Amino acid sequence: METQNMGDGFRTARTVLVVEDESVNQQMLGKILGGSYVCEFANNGKEAIRLLMADARRYSLILLDLHMPEMDGYEVLRSVKKDTVLKRIPVIVLTSEKDAEVMSLQLGAVDFIPKPYDLPEVILARVKRTIELSENRDIISATQSDLLTGLFTREFFLEYVFLHDKSYPYVGKDAIAVNINRFHLINEMRGRDFGDLVLQRVANRLRAYALRQHGIASRTDADTFLMYVPHVVEPDKLIDELVDGISDLLDNPRLRFRMGIYPSVDRALDIPRRFDCAIFACNSIRGDYTKPIAFYDDKMHEQETYNERLVNDVEKALERSEFVVYYQPKFNVKGEKPELTSAEALVRWNHPELGMIRPDIFIPLFEQNGLVHNVDRFVWKKAAMQVKAWRDKYSVTLPVSVNVSRIDLLEPNFLDDITQIAVTSGITPADLLLEITESAYTDDGGDIVTLVKALRDRGFRVEMDDFGCGYSSLNMLTSLPIDVLKLDIGFVRNIHTSERDYGFLELMMDIARFLSVQVVAEGVEHEEQLALLKKAGVDVIQGFYFSKPLPADEFAYFIEQKLAG
Amino acid sequence: MVTINILKEYGANTEEGLERCLQDEDFYLDLIPSALDKESYDALEAAVKAGDLDSAFDAAHALKGVLANLALTPIYEPASEMTELLRARTKTDYAPLMQKIWDERQRLIDMAGL
C-alpha cells in the first residue's frame, strides 16, 4: 500500500471510514482509495457512529453519503459536530446534489466529492489534501500553546502577530514584554508548583486583557510574557490587573512586575525585533522597584545601539588591549596611621572612538550575555602580573582584589583556570582577593558555596562584595565560607548624615564580628564618614577620600610612600 | 457473461465507467450484476405503488447513484428522471417510467445472459 507522506518523510497508512449504503459505491471508492488508504465501511449513519465512538482516533477521514437508511448523513454530521473528539475528524460529503452542499458545510463538512465518481485521481487528491490539512491543524493546536498557561508559544505568537498585522493594517499596535521580578526566588522559596500557579494567574490576566483589546498574548520563556495589542492608553491599569491576579498569593504584588512597552510599533521593523525593543525596555528597569513600566523610546534606542556597539567591539578590544586596569588603594585604618594593605583592580575601557568607558556601563551589559567572563579573565591576568611586577620591583607583596562575576562561577573550568592564572603569573592564590557579589550567593545558592569553599582550599581569599544589598539570611551567612565582608556603597554613603544608616552599619558590624571576618568599606569620600567607620570598627577603607582608581604606574607612589615608612 | 462489448452495444458509457474503476475491466464488469439486483427495483416499485413518495425518492436516488457510477445510461436515464419527479413530490403516474426501468434492466440481463 502506498502511504501518505506527511512531511519529513514520515509515512503511515491512514484509515478512511466510508459511510455509504450502496455496495457498488462502497466498492468503487474502495478501489479508488485502496491503493493509498485503509478503507473501512459503514452501511448507514448508526453503524458509522458506533464505529467512531469505539475508536475515534483510528480514523483520519470520513467519506459520508447523505441518503442512507437508519440514520442519514446530516444526522451523522450533527453528531460528529457535537462531539469534542469526533469533530476533529474531517468529513467529506459524497453527493450528486448542489443543494446539499450548503447545509453540509453548515453542519461541518469540509469538502464534497460529486457523484458519480468521475476523475478518481481528483477524489484521491482531495482526500489526501483534507487529511494533510487536518493533521497539520492537529499538530498546530498541539504545539502552538504553552502547556502550563495555554498562551501561544513564541514561534506561533510571532506568526500570529504577522497575521494580525495583515488583518488590521491601520491599527496602531504596542509590543509589550512583562516579566516577574525575581521569579526564580518564588520558585526556590515556595516550590515549583506555587511558581507555576503564579505564572498561570498572570497568564490568565494577560489572556483576558488581550482578548478584550483584540490582541494576542504569549509566554516565551519561564516568566517572560509578550503581548501584541492595539495601543495601550493606560498601561497602569494593565499592571493593576496583573497585581489583582496574584494579590492573594504574594506579598507586595505591586513590586512583582516590570513591563516594557514599545508603543505604536514601527511596522518596518522585523516582528521579533519589535519585541526585542519591548524586552529591552523591560530589562532597563530590572531591579528598580519604584518603576514598573518603561517605554522604548528614542533615548532607549540610542542606548541599545550604543550597547550593541560595545558588545560587537569587545573581542577586538581584548585583542588590542583597549581594556586598562586601574588600581584603587585600600587602607587598613585599625592603627593610628592608615596603612596601605591592598588594592582593588578596576577595569576601564579606553575605546578608540567612544573614549574612556566606565565599568558600570559595560559590565552589567556583558553580564547579560556572558562576555563579562572574557573581560574578567583579562583583568585577573593583568592584576596577577601587576602583583608580580610590584614584588619584583619593590620586594613587597601587595594583594589585589579582582571581581568575580556569577557568570565566571558558572564556567566549568573556572577553578582550574583562575589557579592557573595565579601560578603562571608567578604569584600565589593568596595574593588575589576574589570579590564575589552577595547576590551571587543568594541567587544560585548551594553550588556557589561549594565552589567558594574549593577556592579557599586552594588558598584564595574571598570577599563578599556589595554586602547589605543582597538578601542573605542570617542563617545562610553563618555557613558562608568568606574572609571579608565588603559593605555596599549604599550603606556608607549617608552614614554621616543619617542616624538610621549609621545604625545599620553597627548592625552589620555585629554580624561581621560574629562571623570573625574583616570588614571593608568602599566609596568613602569624606573625613566624617571615615571617622564614623573607624568608630564602628571597620578594618579597611577604600574610596576617593584616599585616592581615586589610578593607572599602575601612578599607583606605585603609594607603595613607595609605604616603603618610606 | 457480461463484457465491455456487450455493455457498449447495450448503450452504456463504458469509457466513463472504466475510468471510475481505474481502467480495471474485471472489477468494472464484476460490479454490473449488483446494479441489476432485483431487490432495489422491487423496493422502488413497491414504494411508488403504495404512494410513499419519500421512500420512493430514497430508493430511486440510491439506484440512480449506482447506475450513474457504472455508466449504465439506458437504465440511468429513466431512473434519474424518476428521481427528479419524486424529489419534487410530483403526483403523477409513475408506472410507465417504472416499466421503462424494468425493461432496460431486463434488456441488459438478456444481452449479457445473466
Count CA within 13 A, CB hemisphere, residue A277. 24
- The pLDDT-based confidence of A42 (bands split at 50, 70, 90) is very high
Q: How far apart are CA A522 and CA A541, in angstroms?
A: 6
The partner residues of A332 in beta bridges, in order of sequence, read A339, A540
Residues of B with CB under 8 A from a CB of A: 16, 19-22, 24, 27, 31, 34-35, 58, 61-62, 64-66, 68-71
User: Long-range contacts: A102-109, Cβ < 8 Å, 24+?
Assistant: A103/A74, A104/A66, A104/A73, A104/A74, A104/A77, A107/A74, A107/A77, A107/A78, A107/A81, A108/A77, A108/A80, A108/A81, A109/A64, A109/A77
CA distance A439 to A350: 29
- The pLDDT score that the predictor gives to residue A444 is 58
Which residue would you say has higher pLDDT here, A374 or A96? A374
Q: Name the percent of chain A lying above pLDDT 90.
A: 61
Measured CA angle at A241 (ends A235, A244), to 5 deg: 145
What local confidence, expressed as pLDDT, does residue A472 receive?
A: 63
In the predicted structure, residue A367 carries a pLDDT above the cut 80: yes
SS3 labels along A247-308: CCCCCCHHHHEEEEEECCCCCCCCHHHHHHHHHHHHHHCCCCCCCCEEECCHHHHHHHHHHH
Cβ neighbors of A374 (< 8 A, separation 6 or more) are A314, A315, A318
Question: Which pLDDT score is estimated for A11?
Answer: 56
Q: What per-residue confidence (pLDDT) applies to A403? A: 95
CB-based contacts of A365: which residues, under 8 Å, 6+ apart? A307, A310, A311
8 A C-beta contact, residue A103 and residue A74: yes
Q: Which of B19, B24, B69 sits opposite A25 (nearest CB)?
A: B69
Range in A55-64, A96-105, A414-423, A514-523 with the lowest mean pLDDT:
A96-105
For residue A279, which of A307, A242, A312 has the smallest C-alpha distance? Answer: A307
Q: State how beta strands A323-332 and A540-542 pair.
A: antiparallel
Interface test with A, best of B13, B15, B66 (most A CBs within 10 A): B66
Whether the bond into A235 is cis, omega within 30 of 0: no
Q: A484: closest CA among A444, A446, A511, A507?
A: A511
pTM of the complete model: 0.57
Mean pLDDT of A85-93: 91
* Overall average pLDDT of the A60-85 stretch: 90
The more confidently predicted of residues A406 and A550 is: A550
Note whether A124 contacts B: Cβ–Cβ < 8 A.
no
Nine cell digits for residue A67: 441518503
Instruction: Give the three-class secondary structure for A91.
Output: strand
Q: Report residue A484: phi and psi, to 5°.
A: -140, 140
Angle between helices A23-33 and A120-143 (to 10 degrees): 70
The pLDDT of residue A33 is: 93
Q: How confident is the model at residue A478 (pLDDT cuts 50, 70, 90)?
A: confident
Counting Cα atoms < 13 Å in the Cβ hemisphere of A84 gives: 0
Tell me the three cell numbers of residue A434: 576574589
Other CB atoms within 10 Å distance of the CB of residue A388: 16
pLDDT-derived band at A318, boundaries 50, 70, 90: very high
- C-alpha–C-alpha distance, residues A69 and B43, integer Å: 13
- CA A39 vs CA A16, A34, A35, A96, A359: distances in Å: 5, 6, 10, 22, 71
Query: What was the pLDDT predicted at A253?
Result: 85
Does the beta-carbon distance from B66 to A118 stay under 8 Å?
A: no
Query: How far are the Cα atoms of A402, A422, B96 from residue A418, in angstroms, in the given order?
Result: 11, 6, 106
pLDDT digits (tens, 9 = 90+) for A232-263: 888 999 999 999 999 998 888 888 899 999 99
Q: How far apart are CA A144 and CA A273, in angstroms?
A: 21
Cβ-defined contact of B66 to A24 (cutoff 8 Å): yes
pLDDT at A518 over 90: yes
Residue A5 predicted with pLDDT over 80 = no
Contacts of A27 in chain B (CB under 8 A): 27, 31
Share of chain A above pLDDT 70, in %: 96
Asked if pLDDT for residue A152 goes beyond 60, the answer is: yes
B93 has a pLDDT exceeding 80: yes
Query: Above 70 in pLDDT, residue B58?
Result: yes
With bands split at pLDDT 50, 70 and 90, how would you rate the model's confidence at A475? low
**Going from the N-terminus, what domains does chain B have, and what CATH number goes with each?**
4-112 (1.20.120)
What is the ipTM metric for this complex? Answer: 0.89
Name the residue with cell 482531495. A126
Residue among B16, B61, B69 whose CB faces A24 most closely: B69
Which backbone phi and psi does A254 adopt, to 5 degrees?
Answer: -65, -25
Alpha-carbon distance of A508 to A562, in angstroms, equals 30
Q: Sign (positive/negative) of CA torsion A475, A476, A480, A483?
A: negative
Alpha-carbon A128 to chain mean position:
41
Average pLDDT over residues A64-70: 87
A21 contacts B65? CB cut-off 8 A: no
Residue A182: other Cβ atoms inside 10 A:
19
Mean pLDDT, rounded, for A192-221: 94
Residue A355, helix vs strand vs coil: strand
Residue A487 DSSP label = E
Torsion of CA B41, B44, B47, B50, to 10 degrees: -60
Q: What integer is the mean pLDDT of A179-204?
A: 91
Task: Give the sign of the dihedral formed by CA A74, CA B53, CA A98, CA B24.
Answer: positive
> Exposed, middle or buried: residue B110 (CB in 10 Å: 0-12, 13-18, 19+)?
exposed
pLDDT above 90 (res A28): yes
User: What is the edge-to-edge ordering of all strands in the sheet holding A216-221?
Assistant: A216-221, A224-230, A173-180, A257-262, A293-295
Query: Residue A70's pLDDT is what?
Result: 81
Distance between CA atoms of A87 and A77, rounded to whole angstroms? 9
From the list B20, B58, B68, the residue facing A120 with the nearest CB is B20
State how far the Cα of A95 lies from the Cα of A76, in Å rounded to an integer: 15
**Is the per-residue pLDDT at A533 higher than 80?**
yes
Q: A12-16, A177-181, A350-354, B39-43: which range is least confident on average?
A: A12-16
Of the candidates A21, A69, A116, the beta carbon closest to that of B20 is on A116
Instruction: Tell me what the mean pLDDT of segment A74-81 comes to.
Output: 92
pLDDT for A102 beyond 90:
no
* Chain A: closest CA distance from residue B99 (Å): 23
Question: What is the pLDDT, as a whole number, of residue A294?
Answer: 95
Q: Nearest to residue A20, comparing CAs of A68, A81, A88, A58? A: A68
Residue type, A24: V
CB A415 within 8 A of CB A454: yes
Mean pLDDT of chain A: 90
Q: What is the DSSP string of A163-225?
A: HHHHH-TTS-EEEEEEEETTHHHHHHHH-HHHHHHHHHHHHHHHHHHHHHTT-EEEEEETTEE
Residues 14-43 of A with CB under 8 A from B: 21-25, 27-28, 31-32
Domains of chain A, each with CATH number or no CATH: 4-143 (3.40.50.2300), 154-296 (3.30.70.270), 313-555 (3.20.20.450)
- Give chain A positions within 8 Å (CB) of B21: 28, 31
Cα A478 to chain centroid, rounded: 32
- Largest pairwise CA distance in chain A: 115
For B76-80, what is the mean pLDDT? 96
- Confidence band (pLDDT; 50, 70, 90) for B94? very high
| DSSP 3-state of A148 | coil
pLDDT at A517 over 70: yes
* pLDDT-wise least confident of A214-218, A386-390, A408-412, A474-478: A474-478
* Chain B: closest CA distance from residue A30 (Å): 10
Confidence band, pLDDT 50/70/90 cuts, at residue A439:
confident
Taking residues A123-147, what's their average pLDDT? 88
pLDDT, residue A238, reads: 92
Can you give the pLDDT at residue A490?
81
